Amino acid sequence: MVQRRHYPLSLKRKVVKEYLLTGITCRMLAKKYAISSTSMVQKWMRQLGYEVSRDRGKPKFEPQIQLSLAKDKKQPTSQELQKKIRELERQLEDEKLRSEAFSRIIDKTEKELNISIRKKPNTR
């Protein structure tokens, strides 16, 4: 019967960080840290918020947005959540203003240069 090993989160983060920063192969990391399988490194990458995509046969890891809170982090307080909401609302308002500014710049440019910049409906 194969016994399953439990690896601490600190080791997982250390291995993933080393993989990302040095470019060392999963096989070499598995040997260095006595990890049972090279696929464990890839599994840990996914667990820590990186997604595997294939590029010419080599795995490439990209950060992935996490919608749920990580298990090792404490739950934010109501006050912290309210602060985050206010910050996000301010960012949203800034982006709305930025979008409006771009729209006005396009309108002015179209009028001054007498050209059409915006894509017309029903075009491909």
pLDDT at 54: 54
Query: Where are the chain's structural domains?
Result: 9-63, 76-117
pLDDT exceeds 60 at position 22: yes
**Chain segment 57-97, per-residue pLDDT in tens:** 445 555 554 444 445 567 888 999 999 999 999 999 989 89
CA distance 124 to 86: 40
Number of H helices, E strands in the chain: 4, 2
User: At CA 73, angle to CA 67 and CA 82, rounded to 5?
Assistant: 65
Query: Cβ contacts of residue 46 below 8 Å, gap of 6+?
Result: 52, 64
pLDDT at 57: 42
**Chain segment 23-67, per-residue pLDDT in tens:** 788 888 889 998 888 888 888 888 887 766 555 444 555 555 444
Which DSSP string corresponds to 61-92? EEE----SPPTTSPPPPHHHHHHHHHHHHHHH
Residue found by looking up tokens 């989160």 in the block = 9
Q: Global pTM?
A: 0.44
pLDDT at 52: 61
> 8, 9, 28: which is closest to 18 by C-alpha?
28
Contact 117, 110 (CB under 8 A): yes
Give strand ranges (E) for the chain.
Answer: 50-55, 58-63
CA distance 64 to 103: 31
pLDDT at 113: 92
pLDDT at 88: 92
Q: What is the mean predicted confidence (pLDDT) over 3-17?
A: 83
